[in-house]
Amino acid sequence: MSERPIRYGMVGGGRDAFIGAVHRMAARLDDAMHLLAGALSSTPEKAKASGEDLGLDPARCYGSWQDMLKAESALPADERIECVVIVTPNHVHHAPAKAALEAGFHVVCDKPLTCTPEDAQDLVDTARATGKVFGVTYNYTGYPMIRHAAHMVRSGAIGSVRKVFVEYLQGWLATPLEESGQKQADWRTDPTRAGAGGAMGDIGSHAENLVSTVTGLKIESFCSDVSTFVPGRSIDDDTSVLLRFAGGARGVLSASQVCVGHRNGLTLRVYGETGAVHWNQERPDQLMVHTLDGPDTVLHRADADLADAATAVTRLPGGHPEAFIEAFANIYRGVAAAIGAGEDDPARFGYPGVADGARGVRFINQVIAAGGDGWTTFEDA
């Protein structure tokens, strides 16, 4: 990490927010990016106060993202921020992202990318037109063992893929938590701020992205069952989807926020003709590998002979666990390297790109729209 850190400003992530602090730790862990400015809240006073909490120069604690983009653009090139990190609720992704790109900034945006497929495609087009780097924080793809799994599956180590199970189960919305005013529950269950998908949008999007990242398979059609179990809730809290992929593989994707007892139960299992890999986010340093005849094996992060893509994002020896923040930091490391190189190349630098984000929005919205209609063709871009 001898590259110089990238200067960034953050939109959202002020006091009481959750994910903004994670982004900041992730950006800081490897000294990949330095926070120098912020429009940390849509309430100007709170934005200022939040910036002071973080030790920002008060002059660079802005009352709105519009102010931030304008003022930073006016600073000398070697002082102004280079990248805008967007960690607001979903309905405030598209506008600042588009404006940032057009003002010449690189962008990191949380997932799902936008509320509508049209907005998502607009960001794809704008990013392409401006040539700026655009990262989407599907953070689970930052785990070294996911990168090794992707290497294995894509290089044929388990043969042609036949079946995929991906589950993302949580239990924190098993009760009408949004009625208590809890901030995270409030906006995530409100379609005007979250978009069409509840569980499907918030965590199902990660599940879709993980399958795509690891297998490279294209979804051809799907059949979904979209449910809302908590009375009074106006968005799905439990969705299961049967998947058919180009080439004949089949899959089952489940996303639920009413599965009591699950804290953050994201698991991926991929079965091929000659082998299988299993990964569990709550034990992320391991990858279970099965073959037709051999014993089960358990690979660990930092084992000899892992793929270069896994080794490159490993900081500690085996048995010294790395976890969520480290994986998240790997996304930032990739974005920073891309910005340093001046090239928006997700595959080369190791981060999910705007196209991944747009595909995710299409998938969420089509799954929800189909509801229980039966088999539906997935219309990708």
d(CA 214, CA 174): 30
Q: Does position 45 bind a second copy by CB under 8 A?
A: no
Contacts of 101 (CB under 8 A, 6+ apart): 107, 123, 126, 127, 130, 132, 134
Taking CB under 8 A as the binding criterion, the range among 37-45, 80-88, 122-130, 316-324 that sits at the site for a second copy is 316-324
What is the four-CA torsion angle of 335, 338, 340, 342, rounded to 10 degrees? -130
Query: Would residue 31 be called left, alpha or beta, if left means φ above 0 and alpha means ψ between -120 and 50 degrees?
Result: left
Q: Which of residues 92-121 bind a second copy (CB under 8 A)?
A: none
For a second copy, the binding residue among 142, 198, 284, 334 (CB under 8 A) is: 284
Q: Which is nearer to a second copy, 107 or 370 (CB)?
A: 370
**Interface map 211-240 toward a second copy (x if CB under 8 A):** ------------x-x-x-x--------x-x
From residue 155, how far is each of 76, 204, 245 by CA, in Å?
Answer: 46, 26, 18
* Burial of 61 (C-beta count, 10 Å sphere; 0-12/13-18/19+): buried
Cα 74 to chain centroid distance, Å, stands at 31
Pairing relationship of beta strands 134-136 and 286-291 according to DSSP bridges: unpaired
* Burial of 247 (C-beta count, 10 Å sphere; 0-12/13-18/19+): exposed
Q: Which is nearer to a second copy, 84 or 277 (CB)?
A: 277
For a second copy, the binding residue among 45, 293, 347, 379 (CB under 8 A) is: 293
Q: Does position 28 bind a second copy by CB under 8 A?
A: yes
Q: Does position 58 bind a second copy by CB under 8 A?
A: no
Six-digit token pair at 130? 């401006």
Q: Write b or e for each residue in 96-115: b if 16 or more Cβ atoms lie within 10 A of its Cβ, otherwise e.
A: bbbbbbebebbbbbbbbbbb
Q: Which of residues 326-355 bind a second copy (CB under 8 A)?
A: 326
Strand, coil or helix: 244: strand
Taking CB under 8 A as the binding criterion, the range among 114-122, 146-154, 254-262, 348-356 that sits at the site for a second copy is 254-262
Q: Does position 78 bind a second copy by CB under 8 A?
A: no
Six-digit token pair at 37? 């400015």
For a second copy, the binding residue among 16, 57, 102, 273 (CB under 8 A) is: 273
Q: Which of residues 120-179 bind a second copy (CB under 8 A)?
A: 158, 162-163, 165, 170-172, 174-175
Q: Which is nearer to a second copy, 94 or 278 (CB)?
A: 278
Q: Which is nearer to a second copy, 155 or 347 (CB)?
A: 155
Q: Which is nearer to a second copy, 18 or 73 (CB)?
A: 18
Q: Does position 290 bind a second copy by CB under 8 A?
A: yes
Q: Does position 320 bind a second copy by CB under 8 A?
A: yes
Q: How far is the CB of 259 from a second copy (least distance, A)?
A: 5
Taking CB under 8 A as the binding criterion, the range among 118-126, 206-214, 241-249, 353-361 that sits at the site for a second copy is 241-249
d(CA 208, CA 253): 8
Q: Which is nearer to a second copy, 64 or 291 (CB)?
A: 291
Q: Which is nearer to a second copy, 202 or 326 (CB)?
A: 326
Q: How far is the CB of 102 from a second copy (least distance, A)?
A: 31
d(CA 98, CA 93): 9
Q: What is the CA radius of gyration of the chain?
A: 20
Q: How far is the CB of 126 from a second copy (least distance, A)?
A: 31
Q: Which of residues 8-27 bind a second copy (CB under 8 A)?
A: 18, 21-22, 25
Q: Count the site residues for a second copy by CB under 8 A.
A: 89
Six-digit token pair at 209? 């992205």
The answer to whether the CB of 117 falls within 8 A of the CB of 140 is no
Q: Does position 250 bind a second copy by CB under 8 A?
A: yes
For a second copy, the binding residue among 79, 118, 308, 373 (CB under 8 A) is: 373
For a second copy, the binding residue among 79, 182, 218, 323 (CB under 8 A) is: 323
d(CA 377, CA 364): 13
What is the four-CA torsion angle of 95, 8, 358, 328, rounded to 10 degrees? -140
Taking CB under 8 A as the binding criterion, the range among 56-64, 81-89, 148-156, 315-323 that sits at the site for a second copy is 315-323
